[in-house]
Amino acid sequence: MNGTCHYAIEHWAPVGYSVRFECGWRRVSRRRLVREVPSGRRGNAARAAQLAGGKVTMKYVFVFCALALVAAGTLTKLTEPDARSPVPVVYWATDPNPARIEQIRLFHEWLVKNGYTTPEGKPAIELRLDTVNFDSSKLIVQGVSGVAADIWDRGVPDLENYSLLADITEDARRLGFDTSHTYPALADLLSVDGKQYGFPCNVYVVNFWGNADTFAKYKMKPPPRSWDIETFERIGKEFVGKANPPGKRRTVFFTSAANATLLRVLARSEGLDQFNETLTKCTLDDERFARSLAMGYKWTYEDHILPSAADESSFATQAGYGGTHLSLFQQGNYGMIAIGRYMLIRLRDFASPPRLFLSHLPYVEFENTFVGTRAAGIYAGSSRKKESAWFLAFLASKEYNDNIVADADSLPPDPAATTTEAFRHPPEHPNEWGTHEAAARAAQTIAIVESRSPFIEPSSVGRIVNVRIQEVMTGRATPAQAAKDTAERINEEIQRTLAESPSLRARYEELAALQEKIDQYRREGKKVPLDWIKNPFYRRYYVHKGWAQEN
């Protein structure tokens, strides 16, 4: 097939994703993919329409491709073993974690215990893993084709934006897995416009997990649970001063390298998030973000409490060093690492895991950290929605939460499970005692989800921020210039999305008008109605400052 062949699939393809068939696809907008022949095979439009000796309009080529997809999906389904299964089979697209096998076994037991059975008393459905198609791009393609797994472990706001997840609000209330059964901070990651689309499989909160044995080696007590940046810097300097002999290359650092998580937490602690209150504009062109970038540089190249890129590279290449953050932490090269509770899964595999402590990330004025979740949602095109909802109910059950507690796979979905003795003092891991309840408390007090604008893909935001951080760390940009460039690039992407996706324009203009009202209220010293604020960080911060008119 020669020539240029262009046609679009509208309203489903997110920024940054591409699907490749025989001719390939290219992204031209937030929700639009265009199919095109590789440049070496392009000709004029007339020749592009020639297929098998005759002229065929692109409409028929599209129909042919669509039918081929449906036929392939149907054939796949018909040849799967579940076509001959005595009970319906529900597929769970998730990561290839060995723990999933035990979770499936527990789910089947839970079905029987709760009366979801066949007349013979067997589980009424069979849950199977689909780890091959866990990738977001595969799920989206299969979702559009109508052959995707029934349950997805992906980002709820992102997938719901493309109408690929089912509204589970009523099922959640009826079966006991509505958002009241998990951490309040997660509401923005589970619901959109008041409708629930997912429930947590687990919950992660970023804290400093510290090696108490390393601190004891240098005759130092573990740092406090909560600390401002001055205390963080003072203890950090003392630690690296005692750990590294004068005149020799530094091999021990207070914590791992400055990254976007730490630097954005610092900026948020001064009241600055990456987006404004209505998520319509990036606001990182601000001296508060510039200060956090400058602080990261200072801690790395002046105070030497954090490793530089060269330091990390030497760890990876020289004998005797583990090469990974957790190995470096275990053997004492890092006093602490900023991570979630899931790090315990691997740490427990070490022959002699260290005694642990937990400290929050440092702050200027407003203590905070990030919280997130691996949430399960139900595919909107699933023929097993009712049965899939049983699995989400299982995620809220004692059986599942006890499993997460025992495996240390982050925090359990239900905060009630963090009050048990098994969670706080796992008998086989006394070196961890004192950390678990601290992690759970952070999730319920200082943790706030990352803000996400509906007008730009989160991965694009992360990429832009990380590039600018590296420019500062390598001396290619000043903190002020990097902050300015970060905001400019993100806002350019937002405007590009709006230009290429007119359907988003009305919503954007509505929110932009609301932002003007918020700004006016702030200038006049009026309290802002809380339901005007769409950014989860500012909803919490406005209440903290007394700026919110609560509903």
Predicted confidence (pLDDT) per residue in 232-279, tens digit:
999 999 999 999 999 999 999 999 999 999 999 999 999 999 999 999
160 occurs within a structural domain: yes
222 occurs within a structural domain: yes
Same domain membership, residue 222 and residue 198: no
Same domain membership, residue 344 and residue 440: no
Give the H/E segment covering residue 63: helix 58-79
Q: How confident is the model at residue 31 (pLDDT cuts 50, 70, 90)?
A: very low
61 occurs within a structural domain: yes
Same domain membership, residue 14 and residue 67: yes
* Token pair 């010293």 in the structure block, residue: 525
pLDDT at 138: 81
Residues across the chain: 551
542 occurs within a structural domain: no
Q: How confident is the model at residue 505 (pLDDT cuts 50, 70, 90)?
A: very high
Mean pLDDT of 212-231: 98
73 occurs within a structural domain: yes
pLDDT at 371: 98
140 occurs within a structural domain: yes
Alpha carbons 543 and 383: distance in angstroms, whole number: 43
Q: How confident is the model at residue 69 (pLDDT cuts 50, 70, 90)?
A: low
Domain limit, last residue, from 24, 58, 79:
79
Cα dist from 221 to 90, 163, 231, 408, whole Å: 51, 52, 14, 26
Number of domains comprising the chain: 3
Same domain membership, residue 156 and residue 90: yes
Same domain membership, residue 212 and residue 275: yes
pLDDT at 280: 99
Q: What is the largest CA-CA distance in the chain?
A: 83
Domain limit, last residue, from 410, 427, 446:
446
Determine the structural domain holding residue 223 and report its residue range.
Answer: 207-369+449-492
Same domain membership, residue 59 and residue 177: no
Same domain membership, residue 403 and residue 302: no
pLDDT surpassing 70 at residue 531: yes
pLDDT surpassing 60 at residue 289: yes
pLDDT at 65: 57
pLDDT at 346: 93
Same domain membership, residue 433 and residue 322: no
DSSP letter at 226 equals S
Same domain membership, residue 461 and residue 416: no
pLDDT at 71: 47
This prediction has a pTM of: 0.83
Which residues does 311 contact at the CB level (< 8 Å), separation at least 6? 250, 253, 257
Same domain membership, residue 360 and residue 275: yes
CB atoms within 10 A of CB 365: 10
pLDDT at 82: 55
Same domain membership, residue 458 and residue 419: no
Q: Residues of the chain with pLDDT > 70: what percent?
A: 82
* Token pair 């992660």 in the structure block, residue: 204
CATH number for position 394: 3.40.190.10
Domain limit, last residue, from 475, 492, 509:
492
3 occurs within a structural domain: no
Angle, CA 520 vertex, CA 516 and CA 525 arms, to 5°: 150
pLDDT surpassing 70 at residue 191: yes
Please state, rounded to an integer, the average pLDDT across all residues of the chain: 86
pLDDT at 325: 85
Same domain membership, residue 352 and residue 240: yes
Window from 132-141, 224-233, 455-464 with minimum mean pLDDT: 132-141
pLDDT surpassing 50 at residue 35: no
**Single-letter code of the amino acid located at 90:** V
pLDDT at 484: 99
pLDDT surpassing 50 at residue 8: no
540 occurs within a structural domain: no
> β-strand 253-255 against 334-339: which pairing, if any?
parallel
Handedness of CA 434, 440, 441, 443 (dihedral sign): positive
pLDDT at 488: 99
Alpha carbons 427 and 425: distance in angstroms, whole number: 6
Three-state helix/strand/coil letters over 158-209: HHHCCCCECCCHHHHHHHCCCHHHCCHHHHHHHEECCEECCEEEEEEECEEE
Alpha carbons 58 and 62: distance in angstroms, whole number: 6
Alpha carbons 260 and 338: distance in angstroms, whole number: 11
Which residues does 387 contact at the CB level (< 8 Å), separation at least 6? 88, 90, 124, 125, 150
CB atoms within 10 A of CB 545: 12
